[in-house]
Amino acid sequence: MEKQFGRMMQMAFVVDNFEEPIEFWTKKMNIGPFFKLEHLNVKDVYYMDKPTNLDFSVAIAYTGSMQIELVNQHCDTPSIYNEYVNNEKGPLHHLCTLTDNIENDIRILESQGYTNLQGGKTQDNGKFAYLDTKEREGPILEIAQLSEAGLGFFDVMREASKNWDKKTAIMDLGEVRL
């Protein structure tokens, strides 16, 4: 079977704080509004084959059909967000794509030289994994197999970017009218 994942739908950047990057993306790049997901409550998280517990928050906005994700890790636990990229902030951290069959895709990617570096599950059993090749040929690749609720959540954020007033930099999900 072929890899099942679709188009790249997210580009992600690791940041030190949310305030300055959100100001940059909304004011200068005209991208917003951002939705903050603070202290993400994920489960079964692993990094380099070992279970781990990472305290991090993300902020997500859409530009067209592409998500811009900002990731801010609050703890020093080793992860792909800090030591794996030599704590580099700013450059593209990873691209993300969605799939209906994450195990199939991980298996094929592993046969193509990828290592499954980190991953876990959402509370509603959505699955995600970060993979990279040893040669660092390109950006880290995240594959996610989300629940219907997770996918619906993305739709809400995308709609919000279409109707954005270019003033409100950060929105809560409750404020979005579909």
Partner 1 sequence: MGKKFGPIMQMAFIVDSFEDSIEFWTRKMNVGPFVMLEGVELKDVYYKDSPADIDFSGAIAYTGSMQVELIKQYCDTPSIYNEYVNNEKGPLHHLAALTDDIENDIHILESQGYTNLQGGKTQDNGKFAYLHTKDKKDPIFELAQLSKSGLDFFDMMKDAAKNWDRKSAIIEAEVIL
Positions in the binding site for partner 1 (CB under 8 A): 2-3, 5-9, 11, 24, 27-31, 63-66, 68, 89-92, 95, 109, 112-114, 133, 136-139, 141, 166
CB of 3 to partner 1, least distance (A): 6
Residue nearer to partner 1 on the CB measure, 141 or 169: 141
Of 66, 89, 78, 150, give the one whose Cα is nearest residue 117: 78
Residue nearer to partner 1 on the CB measure, 37 or 108: 108
Of 73, 56, 68, give the one whose Cα is nearest residue 26: 68
CB of 117 to partner 1, least distance (A): 15
CA distance 45 to 121: 7
For residue 121, list its beta bridge partners.
43, 127
CB of 48 to partner 1, least distance (A): 21
CB of 44 to partner 1, least distance (A): 26
Distance, first Cα to last Cα, the chain = 37
Residue nearer to partner 1 on the CB measure, 13 or 153: 13
Residue nearer to partner 1 on the CB measure, 89 or 121: 89
**CB 120, CB 128: distance < 8 Å:** yes
**CB 41, CB 58: distance < 8 Å:** no
